[in-house]
């Protein structure tokens, strides 16, 4: 393609990317390095239905002068990235110095919001992603093998978990696993422990969130793999059958290699999605046991006093986290691509 | 006597029609606020005005949209309905206007106590009061032979008796959901033990104190008598437990207690046994372990004077004393409006106000403290760390947020 043609061809995409990807990134990076001005406080008398008392308020005149002088706020550089709400460098260093062994250090680390969020997020990402790929593949193989007449219905029901909005899906499950709900009671009966509560135990909450994550995302893997199965080379399968390959051997040596590029694709998308896990934590009210970076952002923005700078810093860290996660898969794809050409 | 009441009622009715007719506005009004019944009533009253468009956006998420919706110029919302906690965020960002001149012009009939005056300027008009207080099952307490508790220590003793008698396994309810609710329960208990959230006159945190540790230990003791899922139970879930007859004692919001047993399918014994009392004290203190709240409305700063006037008139119509004629509306809240006669459902909030309960602190940095408490206390409640450690975490988390927001250096 001529450079000129390429330029005009790429221009709309390029503009859209600038507008929707580059600009927001620049914006959050800026916001994460500027914090609100130091508040000028005054004490005034404050009266209402319950009488009068002396209260502290923000001096608007003085604050306005500060804001007009520096509309972006106070430049703090990377301070917010290093504070306790984020990387907590000072606290981590202190924990390292004071801890007797690795276990004690780990316990102290889990007391800091960023590391606590990462512990859950990474566990979630690296259990849910492989499990949903395996489950999606199994559903796809199963559906592909059944009678064409009921296929449509089965596909519809297999897709349901993905069709249901995550918040609604998690809320329904949340009610079912309540100690008085149908699943909660069933589990109590199975474990023979009437006091067992999924919601009160950190381990069980993590298991529940992971099960939900697999349940919700497996249909995505299923759809992709099912589409891939329609392009399966039948002559290879027949050749394998003639050679006496069992069904498992056919899957292992013909089907899976054929679907490998799709596995990479699903892994890429799902690593990205699972790293940003948010809805199940909100839906299951699980913040006492599990948090994620996205949940931290929501929490910073949802309080009575919004913490825009803290939320922006966490957003930037999420972007960096996703980039790190995807690097191995991207490098691999790039090598395959180079190998082919 | 009968005739006199009759004529008075007739006169009132005439007055109502005349005020309703009188509500004429000339510029747009746009209201954002919470969605509970009393606020729905106020919103509907404002919408009754003729002459220009009145829109309302009443949602539980009002706090996350009112500030951005008032920061623009012109502001999207001309009025935000807020409480004493949430007015702070609007004050911090300077998006609401002083109402002195409008009160003088259109504010006849407002009680002096309704005017929220900050530094000599009227910044909001309050229309209802709220507080958390005891809600209990009179029949269950009678069964075990105890009086309604007036202290949290009595509550624990009563809970033990109910459990021993085999009536209920987890007789205590509480909105202890990690986050805002858990932090609010801590605030109640902490103030009840005589705690102060900040070093006087500064933004320095002061929760890691004896009062803080006592408060956490009391909450932990109470949680032993709660449904094991208590860290996921907000006010709605706690009320559901009470309605289902699983709970006999709980600390609940006045605004929700009034209509608690009106839901469908509530067993008859719960409806009959349902009773309200004032807030409890703790640790031998005389200040109740609760906080006082008001709900009121504000007028945006970044709008034209014409729109501000229209907003003020419409909101005044929303809290017109005539709304109290509807019995259902009168029960919805503890109204601060002229002519309000306390209903039976209001005794808890009135007891709270009369027994020296402290209003929720209206400080610019209290929101950050509340968020920090909500995030850091769950570890203690689950037994993962000591009370001292949890409170040290709260102070550290608060400090990081306050430094970022410019309240601490």
Q: What is the pLDDT of residues A322-340, one digit of tens each?
A: 999 989 878 887 887 787 6
B89 interaction partners in chain A (CB closer than 8 Å)? 304-306
B179 pLDDT exceeds 80? Answer: yes
At residue A341, the pLDDT reads: 61
Are B136 and B154 spatial neighbours (Cβ–Cβ below 8 Å)? no
Q: Do domains B2-130+292-349 and B131-291+352-404 have the same CATH topology?
A: yes
Largest CA distance in chain A: 92
Tokens of B293: 């709240």
| Pairwise CA distance, residues A178 & A198, whole Å | 7
Q: What percent of chain B has pLDDT over 70?
A: 95
Helical H runs in chain A?
Answer: 3-17, 23-33, 60-69, 79-82, 89-98, 102-109, 113-145, 148-163, 166-176, 182-191, 202-229, 234-242, 247-250, 256-275, 279-283, 293-302, 308-340
Find residues 7-66 of chain B whose CB sits inside 8 Å of chain A.
63-64
Of B237, B224, B252, B314, residue with least CA distance to B33: B314
**B197 interfaces chain A, CB cutoff of 8 Å:** no
- Which CATH number describes the domain made up of B131-291+352-404? 3.40.190.10
Compute the distance between CA of residue A53 and CA of residue B201 in angstroms, rounded to an integer.
13
CA distance A142 to chain B (A): 38
pLDDT in the model for residue A14:
93
Q: Where are the domains of chain B?
A: 2-130+292-349, 131-291+352-404
Where does the pLDDT of residue B236 fall: very low under 50, low under 70, confident under 90, or very high at 90 and above?
confident
- For the segment B104-142, what is each residue's pLDDT rounded down to a tens digit? 999 988 988 899 999 889 999 999 999 999 999 999 999
Residue B110 near chain A (CB below 8 Å): no
The residue among A32, A76, A303 with the most chain B CBs within 10 A of its CB, best to mutate, is: A303
Chain B residues touching residue A56 (CB < 8 angstroms): 201, 363-364
User: ipTM, 2 decimals?
Assistant: 0.87
Q: What is the pLDDT of residues A96-151, one digit of tens each?
A: 998 888 988 998 899 999 999 999 999 999 999 999 999 999 999 999 988 888 99
Q: Is the pLDDT of residue B9 over 70?
A: no
* Spatial separation of the C-alpha atoms in residues B46 and A189, rounded to whole Å: 54
Question: How many angstroms away from the CA of A37 is the closest CA of chain B?
Answer: 6
Q: Is the pLDDT of residue B4 over 70?
A: no
Q: Please check whether residue A123 is in contact with residue A206, taking contact to mean a CB–CB distance below 8 angstroms.
A: yes
pLDDT, average across residues A274-295: 93
Shortest alpha-carbon distance between residue B292 and chain A (Å): 8
Radius of gyration, alpha carbons of chain B: 22
Confidence of residue B14 (pLDDT cuts 50, 70, 90): very low
Instruction: Tell me the residue length of chain B.
Output: 409
Cβ atoms B250, B159 nearer than 8 A: no
Residue B384 has pLDDT above 80, yes or no: yes
The whole-number average pLDDT for the span A291-297 is 95
Distance between CA atoms of residues B126 and B116, nearest Å: 7
Q: Do A287 and B63 touch (CB under 8 A)?
A: no
The CATH topology of domain B2-130+292-349 is: D-Maltodextrin-Binding Protein; domain 2 (3.40.190)
Q: State whether residue A84 sits within 8 Å of chain B by CB.
A: yes
Q: Which residues of A touch B385 (CB under 8 A)?
A: 111
Chains A, B: CB contacts within 8 A come to 167
Q: What is the mean pLDDT of chain B?
A: 90
Task: Tell me which residue in B94, B397, B406 faces A36 most closely, judged by beta carbons.
Answer: B406
Instruction: Give the Cα separation of A11 and A4 in Å (integer).
Output: 11
Q: Is B67 on the interface with A (CB under 8 A)?
A: yes
Best CA proximity match to A267, nearest among A231, A230, A232, A224: A224
Q: Looking at the DSSP assignment, which residues form a beta bridge with residue B359?
A: B292
Is the distance from CB of B159 to CB of B249 less than 8 angstroms? yes
**A46 touching B (Cβ < 8 Å):** yes
Superfamily for domain range A112-340:
MetI-like (1.10.3720.10)
What's the rounded Cα separation, in Å, for the pair A217 and A137?
12
Give the residue with greater pLDDT, B328 vs A315: A315
Give chain A's mean pLDDT: 91
Tell me: pLDDT of B17 over 70.
no
What average pLDDT score do residues A281-289 get?
91
- Cβ–Cβ under 8 Å, residues B251 and B174: yes
Q: Which residues of chain B are within 8 Å of residue A284 when distances are taken between CB atoms?
A: 232
CA distance B94 to B211: 34
pLDDT of residue A317: 96
Task: List the end-to-end C-alpha distance of chain A, in Å, as a whole number.
Answer: 18
Q: Where do the structural domains in chain A lie, given as residue ranges?
A: 64-111, 112-340
Q: Per-residue pLDDT for B1 more than 70?
A: no
Q: Which of A46-55, A219-228, A270-279 has the lowest mean pLDDT?
A: A46-55
Do the Cβ atoms of A39 and B407 come within 8 Å? yes
**DSSP characters over B334-360:** EE-STT----GGGHHHHHHHHTTPEEP
Q: Which of B375, B376, B382, B398 to mutate to test the interface with A (most CBs of A within 10 A)?
A: B375
- Scanning A264-303 for CB atoms below 8 A from B yields 284-288, 299, 301-303
**Interchain contact, B126 vs A306, CB within 8 Å:** no
Q: Which of A82-91, B56-65, B167-176, B381-390 has the lowest mean pLDDT?
A: B56-65
Please say whether the beta carbons of B403 and B368 come within 8 A.
no
- Give the residue on A whose Cα is nearest the Cα of B356: A50
Q: Can you read off the two tokens belonging to residue A64? A: 């306005």
pLDDT at B22: 66
Partners of residue B178 in chain A, C-beta under 8 Å? 285, 287-288
pLDDT at B217 over 60: yes
pLDDT at B258 over 80: no
Query: Is B232's CB within 8 Å of A306's CB?
Result: no
* Structure tokens, B135: 């809600």
CB pair distance less than 8 Å for A304 and B85: yes
For residue A224, the number of C-alpha atoms closer than 13 Å in the C-beta half-sphere is: 25
């Amino acid at each position: 393609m001529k450079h000129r043609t390429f330029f005009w061809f790429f221009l709309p995409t390029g503009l859209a990317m600038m507008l929707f990807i580059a600009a927001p990134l620049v914006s959050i990076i800026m916001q994460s390095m500027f914090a609100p001005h130091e508040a000028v406080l005054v004490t005034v008398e404050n009266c209402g239905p319950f009488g009068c008392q002396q209260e502290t308020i923000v001096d608007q005149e003085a604050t306005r002068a500060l804001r007009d002088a520096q509309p972006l706020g106070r430049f703090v550089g990377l301070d917010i990235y290093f504070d306790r709400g984020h990387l907590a460098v000072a606290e981590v260093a202190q924990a390292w110095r004071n801890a007797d062994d690795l276990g004690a250090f780990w316990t102290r680390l889990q007391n800091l919001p960023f590391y606590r969020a990462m512990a859950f997020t990474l566990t979630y990402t690296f259990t849910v992603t492989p499990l949903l790929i395996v489950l999606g593949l199994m559903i796809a193989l199963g559906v592909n093998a059944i009678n064409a007449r009921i296929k449509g219905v089965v596909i519809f029901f297999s897709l349901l978990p993905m069709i249901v909005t995550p918040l609604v899906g998690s809320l329904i499950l949340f009610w079912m696993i309540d100690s008085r709900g149908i699943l909660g009671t069933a589990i109590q009966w199975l474990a023979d422990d009437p006091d067992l509560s999924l919601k009160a135990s950190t381990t069980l909450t993590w298991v529940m969130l992971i099960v939900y994550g697999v349940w919700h995302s497996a249909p995505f893997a299923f759809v992709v793999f099912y589409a891939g199965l329609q392009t399966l080379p039948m002559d290879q399968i027949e050749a394998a059958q003639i050679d006496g390959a069992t069904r498992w051997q056919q899957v292992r040596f013909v089907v899976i290699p054929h679907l490998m590029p799709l596995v990479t694709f699903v892994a890429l998308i799902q690593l990205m999605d699972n790293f940003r896990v948010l809805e199940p934590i909100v839906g299951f009210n699980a913040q006492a046991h599990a948090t994620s970076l996205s949940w931290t952002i929501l929490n910073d923005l949802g309080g009575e006093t919004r913490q825009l700078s803290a939320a922006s810093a966490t957003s930037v860290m999420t972007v960096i986290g996703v980039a790190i996660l995807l690097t191995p898969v991207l490098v691999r794809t790039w090598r395959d691509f180079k190998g082919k050409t | 006597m009968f005739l006199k009441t009759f004529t008075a009622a007739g006169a009132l009715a005439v007055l109502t029609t005349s005020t309703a007719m009188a509500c004429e506005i000339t510029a747009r009004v746009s209201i954002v606020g919470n969605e509970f019944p009393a606020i729905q009533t106020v919103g509907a009253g404002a919408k009754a005005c003729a002459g220009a468009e009145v829109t309302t956006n009443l949602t539980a998420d009002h706090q996350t949209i009112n500030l951005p919706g008032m920061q623009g110029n012109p502001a999207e919302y001309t009025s935000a309905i807020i409480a004493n906690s949430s007015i702070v965020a609007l004050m911090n960002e300077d998006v609401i206007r002083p109402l002195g001149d409008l009160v003088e012009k259109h504010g006849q009939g407002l009680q002096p106590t309704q005017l929220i005056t900050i530094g000599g300027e009227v910044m909001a008009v309050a229309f209802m009061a709220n507080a958390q207080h005891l809600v209990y099952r009179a029949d269950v307490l009678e069964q075990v032979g105890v009086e309604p508790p007036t202290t949290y220590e009595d509550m624990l003793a009563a809970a033990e008796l109910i459990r021993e008698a085999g009536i209920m396994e987890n007789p205590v309810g509480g909105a202890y959901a990690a986050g805002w609710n858990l932090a609010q329960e801590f605030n109640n208990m902490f103030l009840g033990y005589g705690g102060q959230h900040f070093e006087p006159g500064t933004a320095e945190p002061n929760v890691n104190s004896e009062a803080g540790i006592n408060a956490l230990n009391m909450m932990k003791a109470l949680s032993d008598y709660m449904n094991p899922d208590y860290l996921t139970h907000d006010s709605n879930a706690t009320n559901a437990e009470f309605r289902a007859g699983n709970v006999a004692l709980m600390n609940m919001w006045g605004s929700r207690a009034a209509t608690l047993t009106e839901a469908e399918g509530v067993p008859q014994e719960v409806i009959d046994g349902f009773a309200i009392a004032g807030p409890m004290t703790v640790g031998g203190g005389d200040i109740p372990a609760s906080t006082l709240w008001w709900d009121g409305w504000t007028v945006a700063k970044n709008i034209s004077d014409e729109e501000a006037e229209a907003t003020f008139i419409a909101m005044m119509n929303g809290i017109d004393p005539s709304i109290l004629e509807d019995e259902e509306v009168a029960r919805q809240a503890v109204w601060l409006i002229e002519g309000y006669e306390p209903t039976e459902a209001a005794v808890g909030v009135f007891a709270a106000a009369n027994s020296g309960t402290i209003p929720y602190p209206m400080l610019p940095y209290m929101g950050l403290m509340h968020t920090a408490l909500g995030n850091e206390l769950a570890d203690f409640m689950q037994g993962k760390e000591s009370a001292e450690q949890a409170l040290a975490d709260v102070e550290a988390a608060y400090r990081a947020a306050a430094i970022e927001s410019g309240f601490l250096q």
